[in-house]
Amino acid sequence: MVPITTLHYLVVAAALFVLGIIGVLTRRNVVIVLMSVELILNAVNLNLVAFSRIWGLHGQVFAIFVITDAAAEAAVGLGILIAFFRNKETVNVDEVDLLKW
């Protein structure tokens, strides 16, 4: 059996990151776009924690900061979504074109 190295974790994080990118670019529902952003942030967190095994605890501290940011982003993003839904009765990204010239 091959021992599990840092590189293995990086590959898993890369796969999750690509999945998140595809979700952000192709889905229409804003809620699922926000969930894909959470996937991306989690991939970054996995990278940080995997590197913290080599270079000390700084990666874990940064992962905690990233989780804080994710919480703030989710709260504000979902608030904007509710405000928008009240005005336009839709949650599809390609119908959100109020600012389009």
Partner 1 sequence: MEPVATTFFFYMLSGLAILSGVLVITRKNPVHSALALILTLLCLAGLYLMLYAPFVAGVQIILYVGGIMVLFLFVIMLVNLERSQREKTFNQQWIAGVAAAVVLGALFMSIYVKGKALFAQPVVPFPEAENTQRVGQMLYSNYMFPFEIASLLLLVAIIGAVVMAKKRI
Task: Return the structure tokens found at 27.
Answer: 């889905």
Nearest approach in angstroms of CB 8 to partner 1 is 7
Considering the complex, state which of residue 93 and residue 100 has its C-beta at the smaller distance from partner 1: 93
Token duo for residue 101: 């010239």
Q: Which is nearer to partner 1, 6 or 101 (CB)?
A: 6
Write down the least CB distance from residue 2 to partner 1, Å. Answer: 7
Q: Token match 């605890």: residue?
A: 57
Q: Which is nearer to partner 1, 1 or 98 (CB)?
A: 1
Tokens of 37: 């952003």
Give dist(CA 12, CA 8) in Å, integer. Answer: 7
Min CB(101)–partner 1 separation in Å: 20
Strand extents, DSSP E, 32-95: none
